[in-house]
Amino acid sequence: MSATLETRLGYAPQSAATLAAYLSCIPRVCAILGGDPSAWRIEEVGDGNLNLVFIVKGPMGGVAVKQALPYVRLVGESWPLPLSRAHYEHMALTEQARLTGRLVPEILHYDETLALIVMELLEPHIIMRRGMIAAAVYPKFADDISTFMARTLYFTSDLALTADRKKAMIAAFAGNTALCKITEDLIFTDPYRVAELNRWTSPQLDAYAARWREDGDLKVAVSRLKLKFLSCAEAMLHGDLHTGSIMLTPDDTRVIDPEFAFMGPMGFDAGAIVANFVINYFSHDGHEEAPGARDAYRERVLAMLETIWTSFREKFLDLWRNNATGDAYPTSLFQGVDGEARLEAERQAYMDRLWADTVGFAGAKMIRRILGLAHNIDLELIADKDRRATCEARALTLARDMMVNAGSYRSVADVANAARRLRVEMKSY
Ligand code: ADP
Ligand code: MG
């Protein structure tokens, strides 16, 4: 098996034992950590699926070190994956930092050969998914994530970029094919067919999994979404923008882990946020201490979701009105008497289409978390399988409808209301 793994002159996976010597040669990192390298404490903490992550602490401060492995960490050497994902993560992180400033961790050092990024240690930040499972409140999050999405998506689109710069970005990200393929297979294909990697809460959801594999309308819907993902190079996506890719405190938000970045359809990033909020909403029935104990938090999740989309929409439109520097919609075409009115109507129509994409992609992202390989702990941590299956069945039912009937969800409030309704109407799986 290991014969198929990528090798590269100078590449070696780091360990706690080798990393101190490596970092001790980087003056900027030494200045942050302080003291003698022999006193640095190094721990591998990667709880993600793909890479090594080390936390390094010295007497003065700390850094985080992320290194790609030539295979998928979660699965092992039998699933090779190119080291170049660190290159794409670094490029996306650089671009996101330029566009959003402190909404991503600062890059301190990058080593292309070692496929390794040294970055700011986020502390006491926690992974947002864990916070939301514990019903933590994040008053700044909706504002921060809507800014992140509006600025990263708008400024990398044809609305802001000239055609030559846009095409240069497409070229720069075009090689991240292996990571895109993971999405193409695990999100848009496997949950709808018999696939070795699929898993679900069994036997409770066996009938759902079987029905979802026989559902022609759903297969057409997911195939349309897949085609859009494959062919629509609208803007630079984070590519994996779920609540496990966000580290935060109540007053500081950071988006991490953009290794899936590429030029794709904007609705895919927005849909990831919607999907993870809806899943979290349903999951509290499996976590609450007594029925109804988390009613207030549940409503807070939906309120936050509504604010995220409406703020995103307003921020994106404002950027468009004030920074129309791209080659799309030439201003010379909209200078007549009703020019600005026609353009504004078209901006609104653009956002409506983006919302419809978002609804569909959100549905696909929910289904893959319940019937596909990679689940999320909002649901996985519900120990009682019957309770978990009920939460999952509600999410599956809503997700299917969001994909097949995306156009009937005219606003984010429609999604929130459908989720509320399903919770009441579906008593059990
Ligand atoms: P993967 O791509 O393998 O999923 P992630 O980038 O998601 O890796 O990182 C895995 C984990 O490492 C995160 O869930 C988080 O706990 C920790 N981590 C990553 N980056 C940082 C950072 N800058 N500061 C602190 N912890 C981090
Ligand atoms: Mg990752």
pLDDT of residue 4: 78
Tell which atom from ligand 1 comes closest to the C-alpha of 254: 23
pLDDT in tens, 121-154: 999 999 999 999 999 999 999 999 999 999 999 9
Quote the ligand 1 centre to 118 CA distance (angstroms): 12
pLDDT of residue 75: 83
Quote the ligand 2 centre to 119 CA distance (angstroms): 15
- Token pair listed for 244: 């496990």
Residue 361, number of CB atoms within 10 A of its CB: 28
The best mutation among 32, 43, 56, 66 to test binding of ligand 1, ranked by most ligand atoms within 8 Å of the C-beta, falls on 66
pLDDT of residue 48: 67
d(CA 223, CA 296): 37
CA nearest ligand 1 atom 25, residue: 122
pLDDT of residue 405: 98
Residue 417, number of CB atoms within 10 A of its CB: 13
pTM of the entire predicted model:
0.97
Average pLDDT, the chain: 96
pLDDT of residue 1: 45
All domains of the chain, ordered by start, with CATH?
19-120 (3.30.200.20), 126-425 (3.90.1200.10)
Quote the ligand 1 centre to 88 CA distance (angstroms): 16
Ligand 1, CB within 6 Å, residue ranges: 45-51, 53, 64, 66, 105, 119-122, 127, 256-257, 259
Tell which atom from ligand 1 comes closest to the C-alpha of 245: 7
Tell which atom from ligand 1 comes closest to the C-alpha of 259: 2
DSSP class of 3 = G
Quote the ligand 1 centre to 411 CA distance (angstroms): 33
Quote the ligand 2 centre to 334 CA distance (angstroms): 43
Residues of the chain with pLDDT under 50: 1-3
pLDDT in tens, 301-331: 999 999 999 999 999 999 999 999 999 999 9
List the end-to-end C-alpha distance of the chain, in Å, as a whole number. Answer: 41
Quote the ligand 2 centre to 257 CA distance (angstroms): 5
d(CA 160, CA 326): 4
pLDDT of residue 337: 85
- Token pair listed for 97: 């930092």
| For the CA of 117, the nearest ligand | 1
Tell which atom from ligand 1 comes closest to the C-alpha of 247: 15
CB 163 within 8 A of CB 72: no
Long-range contacts, 29-33 (Cβ 8 Å, 24+)? 29/63, 29/108, 29/109, 29/118, 32/58, 32/60, 32/61, 32/62, 32/63, 32/108, 33/57, 33/58, 33/59, 33/60, 33/61, 33/62, 33/63
- Token pair listed for 257: 């882990």
